[in-house]
Structure 1
Amino acid sequence: MRQSAPASSGAPVPAAPGPGSWFRERTWLVDLLVTMAVFLYNLPIFPLYARDPLHAVALLLVSAVICGSYLLRRRFPVGVLALMIATTSVQLLLGAPILAADAMLLLAVYNLAVRRTAPVSVLGALAAVAWLLIAVVPRLGEEFIDIGQLGVLIVLTAWVWTWGTLVRIRRQHVSGLQERAEQAERERETRARIAVAEERARIAREIHDIVSHSLSVVVLMSDGAAATVGSEPERARSAMLHVRDTGRSALAEMRRMLGVLREDEPGSDAPQPGMAQLAVLVEQSRAAGLPVALTVDGSPGGMSEGLGLTVFRIVQEALTNVRRHAGPGLRRVDVRIDCRPREVVLRVTDDGQGPGAGDAGSGGHGLLGMRERAAAHGGTLHVGAAEDGGFEVVAALPREAREEGAG
């Protein structure tokens, strides 16, 4: 038997319609009901002013136009009020001063104030008041409408205009809040996409460094083992053990990096490499045949994990480049870490031929990755020919620049 999914399963649940949503979705029906109600209420009144059947038909048509034009109020608010005032003026010419259908003028003034700016709606309200004065003032002495009732009608017109203006201002305020909320949501989505792109770039740099360094070590050790397996089996065996350990270490680091994407990946909580792992890195390079010497001046105490990882990766990529580009004349590689109070300066120099001029200037992924790492930590990187020949990589990394700014 199938079971319905619980409400907490994350499936979107449609919101329950509010009590007035049916009418809000059918505003035309509301307008039609209002129009019909006023028109029917007006039917027993206009015959009082009719002198003959033809005159009665004319007044009926006038009332129908006044009421019927209200149905177009949403598309033509200005035109509807203008048509009503023009039609009620014809009504005055037919001898009918005020009919029940003239109440539609108040609704038209309200509609205009809701849908148009104040300068336009004020002119419409003044036009309605002017028509009212023209219709009533000449008949004040005929016991038709007294001065007090005229004042009430003028105040009512002003109140209707004020009400519509307040509704328009409130709608604009709500619309502005909605736009700001949508803009904030778009900004959050943009920041999230940027964060994802930055994280992918970071993972790509990490994987590039891991794979390029570890595979170059594996290739060199495998070549050495293959060359000595017949004459020096013990040395070949030691080289293959180094290949095994390097492969395991690379797999562990790859597993940790992929654990960012898969939280349940074993080893995802393994610590990031840092200053403490530099000695192991140098030892692996020596085992691969590089004449590397490591010197650390000053105390690395208090160094952040991010700074330690940046130092480790830059040194790792620099040693990888030495293996690729130094050439057969390589005799020494010096790795010097100078831990100063405000910055850490690392220098990797060798006496080989180094990358070509084009590589030093533009760089492949390795040099570009080192520059990005240094820049991400607020530092600088210099690569190029050393003063006494060979090639050097020099990075100056502040100890606290990024950590303080990150908060």
Structure 2
Amino acid sequence: MRRFSLWLRGKPVVADSILAAALFVLEVISSFQSNVPWLFLVVGLALCTPIPFRRSYPRIVAAVLLALSMTSTIISWAVDFTLAGHPALLGLAIALYTLVAYVGRRQAAVYVVALVADSVLSISLLRQGIIESAGIAGLIFALAWITAEFLGARRAYDEEVAARLAVADYDRERSAHEAVAAERTRIARELHDVVAHAVSVMIVQADGASYAMRTDPATAEKALSNIAGTGRQALGELRRTVALLRVEQAPEELPQHGTAGVARVVDMMRKAGLHVELEQTGQLDDVAPPVSLGVHRIVQESLTNVLRHGGPNPKAWVRVERHDRDVTVVVTDNGSGGPEFTHPGFGDGSGHGLVGMRERVAVLRGTLDAGRRADGGWRVRARLPLQFDD
């Protein structure tokens, strides 16, 4: 049963179709009280038909249900259904719930006014118990609004928690990848030192041996022996170093590159509760992958810092500009918090984010400036050349 419930969450049209079918079953039962059962069922079917699409087209469905409700009232008054009510009119409360939960309170308030007008029309034409009918209708609509507020707040909370967990996982993965990259850089430096030192020694010894070959064979033989020893030692160290590199490294996902990658990071931060405005000028899709990834990492790290240290209501502005020779990235925030502030749900940062950005920009032969502005906000500005020596 739980598995079926989880499946229905991903199939809103199917779930709402089941709801509409249940209301139509009640319509069939109520039709026996009508003088014209077939016409009663036709009206009931019309009232149930829009409900499966309430979450896809909430405004249209609400308007259609309201029009059908007024039509059913006029038909009941003209044909005299012995005042048998349509159970499918509960769809009005469902539409009100949908507007509050998925559209907004303002549109829902306008719809409430229209529902009041519809109720007044129904009571005045059918002349059922005015106080009783108005009280029941008001109670149902109030319950629909309150339920939508409660479930909407709960859903928003769950989505924000899920977004924050996604950001945290994303940040941990980034830290892990950067730690691996840093270790590989260290190994590459050691490899360079080993090879460069060994080759330099071997070149010097070989030059000496070539001069001493005829005049001092013993010295030449000793030099050749040193060359062999140095080569064997370098080969051993080289094998040990290369063995450390024989670990598969997960490649960077392509969606992280380019214009879409920056928009993806901004969207993730928005879901986590950070108000971000993004402005992109020019395309990054044809930029070299190292430069594009550098832009992606700078935006990601800067927004993560704003989310962690930006205070209770952080706001950030991201501007990415593609020029003929370089790409400029500027990330600013409103400075509502301070360095001592850490956002709930995140641990203290390692403090290496800015250092990592500087190192990445330096590798790309770019420049980076970061610091507090005069109004208290923080700004990170990076310039990455499109052509660099890798």
TM-score range, shorter chain: 0.5 to 0.7
TM-score, reference length from structure 2: 0.53
Indicate the residue corresponding to 2:52 in structure 1. Answer: 71
Match of 2:173 among 189, 205, 227: 189
- Is residue 127 from structure 1 mapped to residue 114 from structure 2 by the alignment? yes
Answer yes or no: is 1:80 the counterpart of 2:61. yes
Runs of 5+ unmatched residues, structure 2: 248-357, 360-390
State whether residues 109 and 160 of structure 1, in contact with CA within 8 Å, keep that contact through their aligned partners in structure 2: yes
Q: What is the distance in 2 between the residues matched to 1:40 and 1:207?
A: 77
**Aligned partner letter, 1:169:** A
By how many angstroms is 1:215 displaced?
A: 0.9
1:241 partnered with 2:225: yes
Q: Write the distance in 2 (CA, Å) between the matches of 1:236 and 1:131.
A: 110
CA distance in 1, matches of 2:150, 2:71: 32
8 Å CA contact 1:73, 1:108 repeated in 2 = yes
Compute the displacement of 1:122 (Å): 2.9
8 Å CA contact retained: 2:66, 2:118: yes
Residue 89 of structure 1: CA displacement?
Answer: 0.9
Partner of 2:18: 33
TM-score of the superposed pair, with normalisation by structure 1: 0.51
Q: Determine which of 122, 131, 148 is the counterpart of 1:147.
A: 131
Matched ranges for 1:87-102 at <5 A:
87-94=68-75, 95=77, 98-102=85-89
Structure with greater Cα Rg: 1
CA distance in 2, matches of 1:150, 1:116: 26
Deviation at 1:119, TM superposition (A): 1.8
Structure 1 range deviating more: 126-135 or 207-216: 126-135
- Asked if the contact 1:125/1:161 (under 8 Å) is kept, the reply is no
Aligned residues: 243
Identity %: 27
Considering only aligned residues, what root-mean-square deviation do their CA atoms show, in Å?
A: 3.3
- Shift in CA distance, 134/164, structure 1 to aligned 2, threshold 3 Å: same
1:222, CA displacement in angstroms? Answer: 2.0
Pair 1:76–1:158, CA change in 2 (3 A): same
SS of alignment partner, residue 244 of structure 2: coil
1:17, distance to aligned residue in structure 2 (A):
7.7
Aligned partners of 2:45, 2:225: CA distance in 1, in Å? 100
C-alpha displacement of 1:154:
0.9
Structure 1 counterpart of 2:231, which letter?
A: G
Q: Report the CA distance between 1:44 and its aligned residue.
A: 5.0
Cα deviation for residue 163 of structure 1 reads 0.9
Q: 1:180-238: CA deviations, max 9, x gaps?
A: 33333333333444344433333333222221221121122123223323332222232
- The verdict on how the C-alpha distance between 1:238 and 1:194 changes in structure 2, with shifts beyond 3 A counting, is same
Cα distance change on mapping 1:78 and 1:21 into 2, 3 Å: same
Q: Report if the CA contact (8 A) 1:106-1:160 is conserved.
A: yes
- Mapped partners of 1:208, 1:193: distance in 2: 22
Alpha-carbon deviation of 1:46? 4.9
Structure 1: how far apart are the matches of 2:88 and 2:230?
A: 93
The alpha carbon displacement at 1:138 in A equals 6.8
Structure 1 gaps of 5+ residues are 1-15, 264-374, 377-407
Give the Cα separation in 1 of the matches to 2:122 and 2:133.
13
* Match of residue 289 from structure 2: none
Question: What SS does the aligned partner of 1:161 have?
Answer: helix
Aligned to 2:300: none
Corresponding letter in the other structure for 1:128: L
> In 1, Cα distance between the equivalents of 2:229 and 2:2?
65
CA contact (8 A) 1:226 1:236 kept: yes
Aligned partners of 1:38 and 1:101 also within 8 Å: yes
Q: What SS class does the counterpart of residue 215 from structure 2 fall into?
A: coil
Residues 17 and 249 from structure 1, CA distance in 2 versus in 1: closer, same or farther, beyond 3 angstroms? Answer: farther
Amino acid at match of 1:156: I
**1:165-314 equivalent positions in 2, closer than 5 A:** 165-261=149-245
Shift, 1:259, TM fit: 4.4
